[in-house]
């Protein structure tokens, strides 16, 4: 369309000059008037086409940019986005269940311990013993905090000092104290949830295996 406008402009100039020359020489003016008219029409059509093209391009540009942004942010969630999703499930729904154990284990006790954890939204304690192996027990506490920062702070408060700790690959951060024979004390944090697993003489199933069960349960109830 820009080329058409250019040709129209040239035709317009030629028509005007020819018309002036014809007027001076008193020659026929029909040809320069025709060229002048054609040039003017081509100029108008070319200019209108260029204007429409610019409007379409301007309208499409934001849409294209918006579409690209949606694909990048929607289809490929970043790690930071995933970490900011808070768990709102009650702690009693996240603790170990009797179905998580092999035959021989029985429920020994359970209760809400919300009063023992300041600032928590919910907190629940549960304990299982094994009838076939006297002394074997597993107890767990799950605490749900309103923010990730609160859970991080409480995790650090429960970390023992001057003890060599194992660091199992559980949750966002974890440690396991095995300084006492036959005892494993594992703590881990998954976003705004803090979990404690304490086992005694469990032999085959350690604290980490029970922690993985709760970690999976948290993921399913976010």
Reported as a single tens digit per residue, the pLDDT across 110-127 is: 999 999 999 999 999 999
Burial class (CB in 10 A: 0-12, 13-18, 19+), 36: buried
Reported as a single tens digit per residue, the pLDDT across 140-197 is: 999 999 999 999 999 999 999 888 899 999 999 999 999 999 999 999 999 999 999 9
Which position has the token pair 């490929």?
A: 76
**Contact (Cβ atoms closer than 8 angstroms) between residue 93 and residue 220:** no
Percent of the chain with pLDDT over 90: 52
Burial class (CB in 10 A: 0-12, 13-18, 19+), 19: middle
Q: Is 82 a member of any domain?
A: no
d(CA 109, CA 62): 61
Q: Which of 76, 101, 131 is the C-terminal boundary of a domain?
A: 76
Assign residue 174 the CATH number of its domain: 3.40.1000.20
Reference 46, options 14, 5, 102; nearest CA is 5
Check whether residue 178 and residue 70 sit in a common domain.
no
């Amino acid at each position: 369309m820009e080329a058409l406008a250019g040709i129209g402009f040239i035709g317009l100039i030629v028509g005007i000059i020819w018309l002036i020359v014809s007027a001076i020489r008193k020659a026929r003016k029909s040809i320069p008037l025709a060229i002048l008219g054609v040039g003017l029409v081509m100029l108008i059509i070319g200019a209108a086409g260029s204007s429409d093209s610019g409007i379409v391009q301007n309208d499409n540009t934001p849409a294209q940019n918006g579409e690209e942004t949606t694909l990048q942010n929607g289809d490929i969630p970043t790690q930071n986005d995933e970490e900011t999703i808070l768990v709102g499930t009650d702690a009693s729904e996240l603790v170990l269940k009797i179905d998580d154990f092999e035959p021989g284990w029985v429920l020994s006790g359970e209760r809400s311990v919300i009063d023992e954890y300041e600032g928590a939204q919910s907190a629940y304690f549960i304990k299982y013993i094994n009838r076939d192996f006297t002394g074997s027990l597993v107890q767990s506490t799950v605490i749900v905090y309103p923010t990730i920062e609160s859970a991080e702070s409480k995790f650090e408060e429960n970390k023992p000092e001057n003890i060599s700790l194992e660091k199992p690959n559980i949750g966002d951060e974890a440690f396991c104290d095995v300084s006492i024979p036959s005892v494993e004390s594992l703590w881990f944090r998954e976003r705004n949830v803090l979990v404690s697993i304490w086992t005694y003489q469990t032999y085959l199933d350690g604290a980490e295996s029970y922690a993985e069960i709760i970690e999976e349960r948290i993921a399913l109830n976010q």
